[in-house]
Structure 1
Amino acid sequence: MRSTRRALAAVVGAAVLLVASACGTGEDDDSTASKVEVFTWWAEGGEKAGLDALVSRFTTACPGKEFTSGVVPGGAGVNAKQVLNARLQQNDPPDVFQVHAGAELLDHIDAGQIKDLTSEFSSWGLTGALPEGLVETITVNGRLWSVPAGVHRANVVWTNDQVLAESGILTAPKTLDDFIANLGKLRRDGIESPLALGRDWTQLMLLESVLISDLGPKKFTGLFTGATKWEGKAVRAAIDDYAKILDFTNADRDSLDWPEAERLLIDGKAGYQLMGDWLAADLAANNFSGYDSFTFPGNGKAFQWLADSFALTTGAPNPAGGACWLQTVASPEGQQAFNAEKGSIPARTDAPTTGFSDYQLKASADWKSGVAVPSCAHGSACSQPWQNAANAAIGAFSASGATAIDKAALQSALAAAAKQFIRQA
């Protein structure tokens, strides 16, 4: 629990939230009032570099405010979300916390744990600077609850060019069948794990990409609104394809996080890895340049998006400082600094693109012209309990051996999760 002094600061600080845009005036005599705890899971690689860039902007934009890290390592926030939920239940909140924009916020909103930021969106110039589709997706009950820092694309395949070239694979596969054929060729040529893969949520990412290929963007999105039934034949066919691909992945997938799976790609033990485009910055951080990337085969113009965002807790010990962090995140300069390092693209359409890679510039163009598709694995399509249920079903399938009985069990579990949670999305 926080000290009595910090608890008192939370009560006093709540009264000044509406004037938080001043960001640096009226400091409290208590030195702890200057501290702003930012809770994230960005602990290494490009993610940490992006966070550091935001901290630098925050220090300049919010004089007198001191960034305090609340980082809990773990890909996609698997560990951090558990710690955050425990802290919120114990009335020990950070000032702001990282969250995926979209349905992942539903439980926090229902529990009254985060502030309504609708008026701040207007005063910070976000309302007209964010794409209409993004604003629509992150609006809940007519209100806005988190500030998007950047947009990532999830459905991207990354390559080790040398491994592929040694098997005579010189072009990107266009279809799911082509991709499976390439995986088979790599296996026959001595690559034991043609596709590098990690645990639960990374496996859900792979299933989602296969579902997009087999169902198309519209029907895929319908899986999370009720318009498409999980019990259908098309989903069963996608699970069959998913099982084929899973057979070409590393046997220790259930014990690896995504950076460890990435190591297989870098070390030439895999030819491919499906991972969001934050991988580009991490590959650069690992001094690996022998790669290429392409949209998952069969996904067409589908841009499966997730938006990193930050929310302000209702019990924030330093709400004014937390609001100043959010204003930094919302600014064009903050978004440019963050995304240039992290490898994502700005949520704001008017943010500068100075320092962006060729991939980021292409992703920005695809974001404007592609078909936006949400992700359950990253919280834009489904709530946290639904995501947990899907991850559990995927994990059980991975450990089971993927027989026909296991495929039916996976489909049944995914259908049951949709039936239980779809009304909350």
Structure 2
Amino acid sequence: MRTTRRALAAVVGATALLVTSACGPGEDDTAASTVEVFTWWAGGGEKAGLDALAGLFTESCPGQRFESGVVPGGAGVDAKQVLAARLQHNDAPDTFQVHAGAELLDHIDADQVRDLSAEYRTWGLRDALPAGLVADLTVNDRIYSVPAGVHRANVVWTNDQVLADAGILVAPKTLKEFIGNLERLRRSGVESPLALGRDWTQLMLLESVLISDLGPKRFSGLFTGTTKWDSRAVELAIEDYARIVEFSNTDRDSLDWPEATRLLIDGKAGYQLMGDWVTAEMAANTFSGYDSFTFPGNGMAFQWLADSFVLTTGAANPEGARCWLETVASPRGQQAFSVRKGSIPARTDAPTDGFTDYQLEAVADWRSGTPVPSCAHGSACSQPWQNAANAALGAFSTSGDATALRSALAAAAKQFIRQP
């Protein structure tokens, strides 16, 4: 039963839960069984990627009909609230989008998602996915999600004309050089040299700074307890972060990531730290005057996140949901999804037809770089931990109190790190 869906959306405020059908041929066939796919992909390249998967699903799974349960909002900030309310009220969708990794732990603990280990064997995913990714997806020898694609988070995007007008022609290699360029942009008349959005986008920026100042190994240790948040090294990194935020737009707390990207496209900023899904947004806005580079000081670190889907224990149509997951897991599905969304396949054997030069470079880096998880996108930390970090950064964005930020982050780590 899904009769409570609209009421549950009201529980979390003004967020609208949009439920539409996007299934193509046969959508008026009353004999078809619907599969509700819950996501936050409501526009741009994200929706284009979802639409591509929906088309393949309709083609590959006769008798099944795609039903989109979409709640707009970058990184699923609003969608996760709606989903939590629905699961609490036993109104689960058949499958829902989740970031692979630690973000799924609470759903596993609550017995809200099914073990997919048997499907992994049947579909050959243990051989098709990198061993390191399979290890990150495994919880107590079981796997609960199917990744649709992999994104890189620690990438800086540029407006080449804005930089050229300020005399900046070379990508910075260090944090010091990056801050120097931000200063140069402001002197040249750019009020907000760095385009920045709300909460989770600020966490992305902090993470990139931490990787530069701590290195990949010590950064990853922040989420396992081997690196302390109250260390002097973290204190210095937060000081670097605070300095960088000074060069961002003052309305950052009211902007979602596409709106921040718009500042870059419109020439109101020279840089934006954002995952590589931003390329689809650039294309949707017919903007080609950009370039990109790994965040200064990050070296070969590939900060990854993987959009994935699960099979809920409360699914009304579990077989249809399995067919959706098999479509998502297929080489053809991963290629079609990535072409439109700007990601790269999680599978190492998926075709790369239609990929941009950036995507081909990312595929190579995925195979050779140093994988680093992201708390902002759920691969490094649980959802409650992520919420606490976002709240701490939101408070800092208003107050500018770096000491309070450091204390709040250390307290969140103490509360949420799981002891072995």
Same fold (TM over 0.5): yes
Deviations 1:180-218 (A, max 9, x none): 000000001110000000000000000000000000000
Other-structure match for 2:97? 98
One-letter identity of the residue aligned with 2:407: S
The percent identity for this pair of structures is 77
Other-structure match for 2:179? 180
Other-structure match for 1:421? 416
1:32–1:235 distance in 2 versus 1, CA, 3 Å: farther
SS of the residue aligned with 2:418? helix
1:31 Cα shift? Answer: 3.9
Higher relative contact order (CA 8 A, sep 6+): 1
Give the RMSD, CA atoms, in angstroms: 1.3
Q: Is the 8 A contact 1:149 1:308 kept in 2?
A: yes
Which whole-Å CA distance do the structure 2 matches of 1:182 and 1:415 have between them?
Answer: 31
Unmatched 5+ residue regions in structure 2? 5-28
Which whole-Å CA distance do the structure 2 matches of 1:417 and 1:31 have between them?
Answer: 49
SS of the residue aligned with 1:105? helix
Count how many residue pairs are aligned between Structure 1 and Structure 2: 396
Deviations 1:159-181 (A, max 9, x none): 00000000010110000000000
SS of the residue aligned with 2:307? strand
Other-structure match for 2:23? none
Other-structure match for 2:405? 410
Other-structure match for 1:339? 338
Which whole-Å CA distance do the structure 2 matches of 1:169 and 1:297 have between them?
Answer: 15
Which whole-Å CA distance do the structure 2 matches of 1:82 and 1:95 have between them?
Answer: 17
Which whole-Å CA distance do the structure 1 matches of 2:155 and 2:141 have between them?
Answer: 32
Other-structure match for 1:286? 285
SS of the residue aligned with 1:68? strand
SS of the residue aligned with 2:128? coil
Other-structure match for 2:153? 154
1:138 Cα shift? Answer: 1.1
Which whole-Å CA distance do the structure 1 matches of 2:105 and 2:215 have between them?
Answer: 26
Q: TM-score, with normalisation over the residues of structure 2?
A: 0.93
SS of the residue aligned with 1:128? helix
Answer with 31-40 or 128-137: which moved more: 31-40
Q: Is the 8 A contact 1:383 1:424 kept in 2?
A: no
1:14-413 equivalent positions in 2, closer than 5 A = 31=30, 34-400=33-399, 402=400, 406-413=401-408
Q: Is the 8 A contact 2:98 2:308 kept in 1?
A: yes
Deviations 1:253-290 (A, max 9, x none): 00000000001000000000000000011101110000
Q: TM-score, with normalisation over the residues of structure 1?
A: 0.92
1:424–1:111 distance in 2 versus 1, CA, 3 Å: farther
Which whole-Å CA distance do the structure 1 matches of 2:40 and 2:237 have between them?
Answer: 31
Deviations 1:104-141 (A, max 9, x none): 00000000000100010110111101001101111111
One-letter identity of the residue aligned with 2:411: A
Which whole-Å CA distance do the structure 2 matches of 1:32 and 1:165 have between them?
Answer: 59
Other-structure match for 1:12? none
Deviations 1:6-30 (A, max 9, x none): xxxxxxxxxxxxxxxxxxxxxxxx9
Which whole-Å CA distance do the structure 1 matches of 2:52 and 2:293 have between them?
Answer: 28
Q: Is the 8 A contact 1:34 1:321 kept in 2?
A: yes
Which whole-Å CA distance do the structure 2 matches of 1:187 and 1:354 have between them?
Answer: 41
Q: Is the 8 A contact 1:343 1:360 kept in 2?
A: yes
Q: Is the 8 A contact 1:139 1:145 kept in 2?
A: yes
1:33 Cα shift? Answer: 6.1
Which whole-Å CA distance do the structure 1 matches of 2:225 and 2:117 have between them?
Answer: 28
Which whole-Å CA distance do the structure 1 matches of 2:272 and 2:376 have between them?
Answer: 16
1:31–1:115 distance in 2 versus 1, CA, 3 Å: farther
Deviations 1:309-349 (A, max 9, x none): 00110000111111100000011110011011110000000
Q: Is the 8 A contact 1:230 1:411 kept in 2?
A: yes
Deviations 1:73-115 (A, max 9, x none): 0000000000000000000010000000000000000000001
SS of the residue aligned with 2:36? strand
One-letter identity of the residue aligned with 2:262: R
SS of the residue aligned with 2:308? strand
